[in-house]
Structure 1
Amino acid sequence: MSTDAPVFDPALPHRCSPRVAVRPEPFGALVYHFGTRRLSFLKTPQLVEVVSGLERHPSVHAAIEAAGVEEAQRPAYLRALAGLAANGTIEERP
C-alpha cells in the first residue's frame, strides 16, 4: 500500500510548520494551522516545550530529552508528535 504522507522519524530534525501559530494557555497551547484551518490542542505545558524546542535540537528525541520528559512518558509523546506530523503541525526540517 502506497501513501503520500512521509513517515514520522523522531531521529530526524523537525520544526513547527511556518503555517502554524501556537498560543500558550494554562493547560498547554492552542495550535492553529493556517493552511488547513485546523485548530488543535497541546494538552500539557511540557508538550508545548517539546514542540517549541524542536527547531533547536538535532532530533525529536533530543527535544524530548531537553524538555525533561520522563522515560516512561516518551512513547506517549512520540505518538502525540507523530499525530502532529501527520496533520502538518510539525514537519521535518530541510
Structure 2
Amino acid sequence: MRRVLMDPLLGEPWTLSPSVALRPERFGALAYHFGNRKLTFLKRPELVAVVRALGDQPDIRSALDAAGVPASQHAAYAAALRGLAASDMIRPRRESA
C-alpha cells in the first residue's frame, strides 16, 4: 500500500489577494494583480473554482473538496497554489479575532 504524505499547506486558510481580479475565459481564467501588474493564466476551470472557493472555506483542503478535486490530485493543486502565492495572487487569510 502506497502512503500519501499530507502537505501542511492544505490545512491552512488562504484567500484571493484583494488586489487580484479574475476574468473568466474558455480555458479557465486570467488573474491580474493590480499591485505588481502580474498576469497569470489559470488554465484549468477546476483551479479557478478552487481559487474562488478559498475565501469561503476554512482551509485549502476544503476548497479543493468544494471544487470537486479528487484527493489524489491535491498535491498537484497545492503546487499550483504555491506558485500563485509566490506572485501574491493568493495570500494567507488572517482570521479576525
Query: Residue in 2 aligned with 1:75?
Result: 75
Of structures 1 and 2, the larger Rg is shown by 2
SS in 2 for 1:9: helix
- Between the aligned residues of both structures, percent identity stands at 51
Unaligned runs of 5+ in 2: 1-7
Give the secondary-structure state (helix, strand or coil) at the position aligned to 2:10.
coil
Q: Give the corresponding residue for 1:36.
A: 36
1:17 — aligned with what?
Answer: 17
**Paired residue type of 1:25:** E
- Code of the residue aligned with 2:82 in structure 1: it is A
- TM-score w.r.t. structure 1 length? 0.87
SS in 2 for 1:10: helix
Runs of 4+ in 1 over 4 A off after TM superposition: none
Residue identity in the other structure for 1:10:
L
Whole-angstrom distance in 2 between the partners of 1:63 and 1:71: 12
CA RMSD between the two structures: 1.2
Shift of 1:55: 0.6
User: How far is the alpha carbon of 1:11 from its aligned partner?
Assistant: 1.1
TM-fit CA distance, 1:12: 1.3
